Structure 1
């Protein structure tokens, strides 16, 4: 049988040298999702500085921009105008909502459709054709086999920048964390003492560190770069949630918005929002490797079935068809 995938040419562009390492990895995962859905030959990725020329030359059906719309010098207007002149549909997937919400004027009028990674944040664009679309995980980048024979060397592991909101949570949990073996890795954690490090690690190392931890702590962030007008609280779990689940790690998720149950059940990823609940979860799961592994398998299965970038790209393509922007 022939290839039945839609014949849609997609050009992906990003913010160039302003693109953070985290956004670069997310963009690469999105590209792999497009390739899974449409085929590798239908997808190219370019720097924003060369996007207009590439659009004119390659004539894609869909121009897909993603990432941050800060700083001011990241200008998507030329990309959008060139795409429309070629008859291409334009889409932006905002990966930093709601932290940059006040600056969305930079993209609000440049794209046919906008997808926001945050459920609450997507309501504040004040235009039509704005949809909520969570980030996800990539089998190529994040999948890990669950192996009960792997030695667990750490009780509680966390990797990420020590934003002030995360420090506040960790300080509240310290009476419990001091009872177990911890490893916190990321800029800003060194001041907390033994078990805490300012080091940065690569994503490739992260999967192995997950495998060595009994519990992976999942702490959200609330850092308002440009979110002072409405002070929108972040709602949707970030990509690390889906990536960690796909890696086969057992997570404890800190939340105050009760959004997690839209994505994972209680027997897949437990949640807490105070020291008392955290202590109960530690007592329940730290000494129960069979239960941890059972729940990690369920979360990984859920991710494989519902939360890969392939699934998100399929959603994007369906929305574009529903909006009569794409025919195939």
Structure 2
């Protein structure tokens, strides 16, 4: 019996060393990849910019950092204090994120007031097309409308918006980046997100196959699953703080990414029934951590990443099961794809890239029209 215990302890030490080596090697490689990417020049705009956040922690953080770097002066205000802060700060441009959920009913009147003061206004819709019932009302109030969903561009133009542009989402790389893994978040497979009905249907359908693995599902509304009780401690119910999601991404072998449905219903207010082609912020965030992800396919994906090179995809549940089995035993291939995904994201898909494009569009528009950029 003592010999058996000694052998088990020896095996445990070997396994622990092997696991620690692999995680350390992954982190070292990821840090080397990031260190070789040249820093993006900020080239600050001459504009004084007031930012109005939505309350999306990661996206707001990315916008705030980038706008503060790329403006001559920067301020930020809660949606309810837009007018008060604009009177104090005297911005040239107000940038609003989304304008939904936590924004006061009188927000459109605040935008009208700002324009009467000669302040330019821009909104970035990052929840399209899931709330078109609301965004259709809001969009015409702004001078510039940016949306991460290409299908919404003609929609907003038909509403009378003159300046409408595609602006994809991105990763807040100050928050989502390679870090040392934590054994508490190590799993074969991990999914973080709410239980939208298409996701519920998937995990119910493949519960038997998925439960063979060390899998973690984290998020809200998973009590919708018929198989809910069977998942046991594989299921973590409730909101996952941003910093913990970074640990999950950095520690697990495969991160699943399944987009939400776009149809009008209990979880959406897409009364105009616009299709969803854009990829979600999670795509960029997982990639920015140097993690390997398996994602379902949205048509915009190939504009941002190259399937089979810097991201891996699936079209059906059966294909996903096959790729899970394959990539769990092909670690080197898994890591190569993850490192390429990391490189692509830091080189092309940060909030600095998006905000730079937004400000270039706005400055170019006033330059072409002959209107003075600054008040």
Shorter chain as normaliser: what TM range?
Answer: 0.7 to 0.9
CA distance 1:327–1:37, shift in 2 (3 Å): same
Match of 1:138 among 160, 172, 180: 172
1:82-128: CA deviations, max 9, x gaps?
Answer: 32233221000112110111222432221101011212123211232
TM-score normalised by the chain length of structure 1: 0.88
2:325 corresponding residue in structure 1: 283
Q: Does residue 1:36 correspond to 2:69, yes or no?
A: yes
Larger Rg belongs to: 2
| Residue in structure 2 matched with residue 211 of structure 1 by the alignment | 250
SS in 2 for 1:92: strand
Question: d(CA) in 1 for partners of 2:281 and 2:76?
Answer: 21
Q: Measure, in 1, the Cα distance between the counterparts of 2:259 and 2:316.
A: 14
Aligned match of 2:116 in 82, 85, 90?
85
Structure ranking higher in helix proportion? 2
Residues of 2 paired with 1:68 and 1:83: CA distance?
15
Q: CA deviation at 1:179?
A: 2.8
Contact 2:51 2:75 in 1 (8 A): yes
2:352 corresponds to: 310
Distance 1:301 1:181, change over 3 A: same
**Partner of 1:193 in structure 2?**
231
- Of 198, 201, 210, 1:165 maps to 198
Contact map agreement 2:143 2:163 (CA 8 A) in 1: yes
Indicate conservation of the 8 Å contact 1:55/1:82, yes or no.
no
Provide structure 1 residue ranges, at least 5 long, that are not aligned to the other structure.
none
Q: How far, CA to CA, are the matches of 1:113 and 1:168 in structure 2? A: 39
RMSD: 2.4
Runs of 4+ that moved beyond 6 A: 149-152
**2: CA distance between counterparts of 1:309 and 1:221?**
23
Of 238, 245, 253, which aligns to 2:280? 238
- Is the contact made by 1:93 and 1:115 (CA closer than 8 Å) also made in structure 2? yes
CA shift at 1:276, angstroms?
Answer: 2.2
> What does residue range 212-231 of structure 1 map to in structure 2 within 5 Å?
212-222=251-261, 224=264, 225-229=268-272, 231=273
Q: TM-score, normalised by structure 2?
A: 0.77
Cα distance change of structure 1 residues 46 and 264 upon mapping to structure 2, 3 Å threshold: same
Looking at structure 1, the residues matched to 284 and 189 of structure 2 have their Cα atoms a distance apart, in angstroms, of 18
1:70–1:103: 8 Å Cα contact kept in structure 2? Answer: no
Q: Whole-Å Cα distance in 2 between the matches of residues 119 and 172 of structure 1? A: 32
Matches of 2:108 and 2:221 in 1, distance apart? Answer: 36
Gaps of 5+ in 2: 1-41
Deviates more, 1:299-308 or 1:190-199: 190-199
**Following the alignment from structure 1 to structure 2, what is the Cα–Cα distance between the partners of residues 174 and 259?**
29
Residue 184 of structure 2 is aligned to residue 184 of structure 1? no
Contact 1:211-1:249 at 8 Å conserved across structures = yes
Q: 1:299 to 1:269 in 2, by over 3 A?
A: same
Q: 2:163 aligns with which of 103, 122, 129?
A: 129
Confirm or deny that 1:155 pairs with 2:193.
Answer: no
Correspondence for 2:87 among 35, 47, 56: 56
Match of 2:44 in 1: 5
**Distance (whole Å) between structure 2 residues aligned to residue 11 and residue 135 of structure 1:** 20
CA shift for structure 1 position 185: 0.6
